[in-house]
Structure 1
Amino acid sequence: MSAAGEIAQTGRVAALGAEPLDRRRLVFAIVSIGLFMASIDQTIVATALPAIERELHATINWSGWTISIYALGQVIAMPMAGKISDMYGRKKVFMISAAIFTLSSLCCGFAGNMAFLLLARFIQALGGGAFMPSATGIVSDHFGAERDRATGMFTSILPVGGMIGPVLGGLFVTYWSWRGIFLVNVPIGLVLIALTAKFIPASATRPASRIDIHGILLLAVLIATAMFGITYLGSGQVPLYSPVFLGCEAIAAGTLYLFLRHSRRDSAPFVPYRLLRGRGFGVMNLINYVYGAAALGFAGLVPLYAQERYHIAPLGAGTLLTARAVGMIAVAGAATMALRRTGYRLPMIGGFAILAGGLVMMAATPALSPYAWLAIGAAVTGCGMGLSVPAANNASLQLAPDQVAAIAGLRGMFRQAGAITAVSVTTAVIARSADPGVVQARVFLVFAALLVAMLPLVMLVPDHHGNW
């Protein structure tokens, strides 16, 4: 960008940051609708998996792809949307994302077989994954020096969708059909598009640059082949030495090498190599990956766990994630406002430890009724997430404050990759087991152990105190 262009962009951002508070609140509310829809669809499918299996004649390892492939689409979309929103404007990308999400939700609702559902679900995830980077950029443009608190408040918005999603899923499955979990997005999406067009101003753009299609395809092949191999193994009738399984994982390993080499050598890679390594980005990427497996992957499996181990009805199983969201909301706001005093490391260490404790509690033998015990455990995990996530979000952003949208996309990419791994491995293990509920309890213990093992890494995260 030329010097004149940079001055003009800086002036524009400053002007946006000086907007009246009511205007900024309206912008925040509108982008929150998009995040709300995307977060609903991360959890709403969890309570509907048994119903989808029955109607579409699928097994758990393949119906579980409705969760995994949504995360895959988000992994691909998030970094790409961050770069595109910088190039073409956050508002434009946000509106296109809403249109893709809405249309694909309609297609999901009318799917007649598992293959079509997974294809539509993948496209839906591309739209949903693009919300966070463009929304983060929009809020950053409008809130200026207060962007840390504004983006931190996303931590209070996302669990609302996580709270409502499983309940809606249980209601639709109980009183209508699993198809309603997708069709409910259509009217919300139409309203979002209209509000964005009317009330969000166009944002500054950067000169267009090449989109790294090669890097995008390598990442997609890496995750998809790894997922397919694990899922194929999970049929329960395939040995560990299956050529299909080993071949898929070998392709994934080779593609990982090619992806890293491409990121290091390409002049404008999909994911810049400097954002993948070093004490700052390397540590945060690993933390985000493990967090995604333990927290996001865990969330998608809780209703299934309640139904398989304790035979809790779908509606009741769905409300367990409501308890988790309540715990997260109760803590996230205070944690966000305290960030300037606490820095990043302390809330991350405390939050991850609490989250691990909640996972252990859910895996343990209930001391109360199963539903009450699981609800308390879910609420504890939510408190841990609410304490740690605002700090983890901003710890990434401070590493490259001039690339807010790209960093938000990268952070989401690693978290969703962790969730994909957790869900794919867990559903494959469940499909091969004689007692799925007990096996899933052991998986929760593994998640807890990973979080505890990650705590020393938090001390390597660059900390920040004081006024920004």
Structure 2
Amino acid sequence: MSEAVRDAPATEDLTPHPRRHAVFVVVGVALLMFSLDQTSVATALTTLGADLDADLAWTGWTLTACAVGQVLALPLGGRLGDQFGKRKVFLVAVAAFVLLSALSATSTSIAQLIVCRFAQGVAGGVILPATSGLVAFHYGRERDRALALFTSVFPMGSIAGPVLGGLILTTWSWHGIFLVNVPIGILLVVAGALLIGEPPRRRPEKVDAGGIALLLGTLVSGMVAITLVGSTTGGGLAPVLVAVCGVLAVVSGWAFLRHARVHPDPVIPLRLLRGGGLGIMNSTNVLFGAALVGFGALLPVYAQTRYALLPLAAGVLLTARAVGTIASSGIAVALLRRLGHRPLVLTGFGLIISGLLVVAVPPAGTSPAVWLTVGAVLCGLGMGLAGPAANNAGMHLVSDEVTAVSGLRIMFRQMGGIASVSVITAVLSASAEPGRAGGVAFAVLAGLLAAAAVGMSRIPNHRGRW
């Protein structure tokens, strides 16, 4: 949001466009489609594994591959819009997302589906900055309110997506989760071509393609190594492959850091990685993303494997979490200036830890569905309190580089989610009792968040405006 406002030229006509509300609907539905796709797939992991003959360690890649694509595309989205035009980039990205949804639906192997999901993540990562830029341009002087309302679109997908995924799995099949995007996307491309105007372009900055490639190599090789540890595939070659991928991950990571030291505008600036509390904040964002993305991705699998809940019931758990998040995030925003960010982050982390521990242990005097719902709501309430406050804390540390810090926050949280999903799916796949192993994994995640809370207690608190 801040990038879209900052990028507006000083001479831009700020008169609201007469078709601004129609444009808001078009780009909002596109963002909602991407959000629904991300959250509904989480309910289908066990079904995908059975249908495509793949263990959970590899079906989890349908989530992490999409997240990796999104992480890599986020630095590109704004710059592509500057070079080719936000309208054109938006339409091409939506069309690509629709085509890839159709290819995902017709996948006959887990490898084909993973490739399609990675490309879907790239398309979605390009859509995100384009939509904000288009809303800001069409609303002109009213852009602040429009963008504030626009930020509520993505969480709506978190509420509806799991239920939609569960309904489709119950009445149809996993193919339908991807096929529903096709007619919606076609209508969006046609409506967008007719309604959306082209914002003024600005001179694009150079893209750190080398840094993005090294980051991709580090993430993918690390994910493959983790997956092979827990996968039943690979046979006698598995230890060798794990070692090779592990070495590649280390070498790529070292090369990435070395590249970032010398590049004038690296995809991850080293000056924003440590010092002045930034190291604590970045570590916190990784663990917060592990809880936010990992819990949301794996709770349905856990509910199905340990307690044999149906996909629809498992999906409702994520809806309960999303409702809690939305409810408490409004409270966090209202209290932020009065209390500062630190009490809200620590309280939120306490609720998340409590929710994870509730989910990790067997039900106490009630049904598994009710027990897991209580844990999901606790996690949702904590995430809603901690999220806005942690955002504010990071930007306050480097108030003159808000856009860069915001981008890194999203990137580190996605990386945390990628790591948690990769590790936990590998553990579940390798375990003889995946349900119990999932409980242990959630308990370990609670412990890591407790350590992050200790670090956050050292961040200076700030009240009022800044």
User: What is the alpha-carbon distance in structure 2 between the residues aligned to residue 449 and residue 104 of structure 1?
Assistant: 38
Q: 2:325 aligns with which of 303, 324, 328?
A: 328
State the match for 1:3 in structure 2.
none
State the match for 1:270 in structure 2.
267
User: What is the alpha-carbon distance in structure 2 between the residues aligned to residue 463 and residue 202 of structure 1?
Assistant: 42
User: What is the alpha-carbon distance in structure 2 between the residues aligned to residue 280 and residue 183 of structure 1?
Assistant: 45
Contact 2:347 2:385 in 1 (8 A): yes
Q: CA deviation at 1:303?
A: 0.6
State the match for 1:366 in structure 2.
363
Question: Which one-letter code corresponds to 1:370 in the other structure?
Answer: P
Question: Which one-letter code corresponds to 2:369 in the other structure?
Answer: Y
Q: 1:79 aligns with which of 75, 97, 103?
A: 75
Contact 2:159 2:323 in 1 (8 A): yes
Question: Which one-letter code corresponds to 2:199 in the other structure?
Answer: S
1:345 equivalent to 2:309? Answer no
Q: 2:115 aligns with which of 116, 119, 128?
A: 119
CA 1:87 to 1:271, structure 2 compared with 1: closer, same or farther past 3 Å? farther
CA 1:419 to 1:154, structure 2 compared with 1: closer, same or farther past 3 Å? farther
Q: 1:444 aligns with which of 442, 459, 463?
A: 442
User: What is the alpha-carbon distance in structure 1 between the residues aligned to residue 386 and residue 231 of structure 2?
Assistant: 36
Identity of aligned residues (%): 45
Name stretches of at least 5 consecutive residues in structure 1 with no aligned partner. 1-5
Deviations 1:252-293 (A, max 9, x none): 111111111111201232333333333354333222211111
Deviations 1:56-108 (A, max 9, x none): 12111111111111111111111222443455554443333322222211111
**Which SS does the other structure have where 2:265 is aligned?**
coil
Q: CA deviation at 1:433?
A: 0.8
211-220 vs 155-164, greater mean Cα deviation: 155-164
Contact 1:219 1:259 in 2 (8 A): yes
1:98 equivalent to 2:94? Answer yes
State the match for 1:306 in structure 2.
303
CA 1:8 to 1:113, structure 2 compared with 1: closer, same or farther past 3 Å? closer
User: What is the alpha-carbon distance in structure 2 between the residues aligned to residue 99 and residue 154 of structure 1?
Assistant: 21
1:170-189 correspondence runs (5 A): 170-189=166-185
- The count of residues paired between Structure 1 and Structure 2 equals 459
CA 1:87 to 1:352, structure 2 compared with 1: closer, same or farther past 3 Å? farther
**Which SS does the other structure have where 2:276 is aligned?**
helix
TM-score normalised according to structure 2 size: 0.88
User: What is the alpha-carbon distance in structure 1 between the residues aligned to residue 357 and residue 270 of structure 2?
Assistant: 36
CA 1:127 to 1:456, structure 2 compared with 1: closer, same or farther past 3 Å? same
CA 1:23 to 1:401, structure 2 compared with 1: closer, same or farther past 3 Å? farther
State the match for 1:412 in structure 2.
410
User: What is the alpha-carbon distance in structure 1 between the residues aligned to residue 443 and residue 251 of structure 2?
Assistant: 31
Contact 1:356 1:452 in 2 (8 A): yes
State the match for 2:419 in structure 1.
421
User: What is the alpha-carbon distance in structure 1 between the residues aligned to residue 208 and residue 229 of structure 2?
Assistant: 32
Contact 2:79 2:205 in 1 (8 A): no
1:50-449 correspondence runs (5 A): 50-138=46-134, 156-236=152-232, 242-279=239-276, 281-367=278-364, 368-397=366-395, 407-449=405-447
Contact 1:42 1:300 in 2 (8 A): no
Deviations 1:165-205 (A, max 9, x none): 22222222221111010111122323333454455543343
CA 1:63 to 1:357, structure 2 compared with 1: closer, same or farther past 3 Å? same
User: What is the alpha-carbon distance in structure 1 between the residues aligned to residue 288 and residue 147 of structure 2?
Assistant: 19
User: What is the alpha-carbon distance in structure 1 between the residues aligned to residue 330 and residue 20 of structure 2?
Assistant: 18
Name stretches of at least 5 consecutive residues in structure 2 with no aligned partner. 1-5
Q: CA deviation at 1:338?
A: 4.1
Q: CA deviation at 1:137?
A: 4.4
Note the aligned Cα RMSD (angstroms). 3.1
User: What is the alpha-carbon distance in structure 2 between the residues aligned to residue 38 and residue 110 of structure 1?
Assistant: 19
**Which SS does the other structure have where 1:132 is aligned?**
helix
CA 1:453 to 1:465, structure 2 compared with 1: closer, same or farther past 3 Å? same
CA 1:343 to 1:154, structure 2 compared with 1: closer, same or farther past 3 Å? farther
Question: Which one-letter code corresponds to 1:131 in the other structure?
Answer: I
Question: Which one-letter code corresponds to 1:453 in the other structure?
Answer: A
User: What is the alpha-carbon distance in structure 1 between the residues aligned to residue 317 and residue 184 of structure 2?
Assistant: 24
User: What is the alpha-carbon distance in structure 2 between the residues aligned to residue 248 and residue 56 of structure 1?
Assistant: 24
User: What is the alpha-carbon distance in structure 1 between the residues aligned to residue 8 and residue 74 of structure 2?
Assistant: 27
Q: CA deviation at 1:462?
A: 6.4
Deviations 1:133-158 (A, max 9, x none): 33444556678999887666666433
TM-score normalised according to structure 1 size: 0.88
User: What is the alpha-carbon distance in structure 2 between the residues aligned to residue 148 and residue 239 of structure 1?
Assistant: 58
Contact 1:173 1:314 in 2 (8 A): yes
User: What is the alpha-carbon distance in structure 2 between the residues aligned to residue 28 and residue 386 of structure 1?
Assistant: 25
Question: Which one-letter code corresponds to 1:253 in the other structure?
Answer: V
Contact 1:355 1:383 in 2 (8 A): yes
Contact 2:325 2:381 in 1 (8 A): yes
Q: CA deviation at 1:305?
A: 0.4
Contact 1:153 1:336 in 2 (8 A): no
CA 1:373 to 1:444, structure 2 compared with 1: closer, same or farther past 3 Å? same
State the match for 1:9 in structure 2.
9
Question: Which one-letter code corresponds to 1:158 in the other structure?
Answer: F
CA 1:273 to 1:7, structure 2 compared with 1: closer, same or farther past 3 Å? closer
Q: CA deviation at 1:337?
A: 4.2
Question: Which one-letter code corresponds to 2:215 in the other structure?
Answer: L
Structure scoring higher RCO (CA < 8 A, sep ≥ 6) equals: 1
CA 1:456 to 1:49, structure 2 compared with 1: closer, same or farther past 3 Å? same
Contact 1:83 1:405 in 2 (8 A): no
Q: CA deviation at 1:466?
A: 3.2
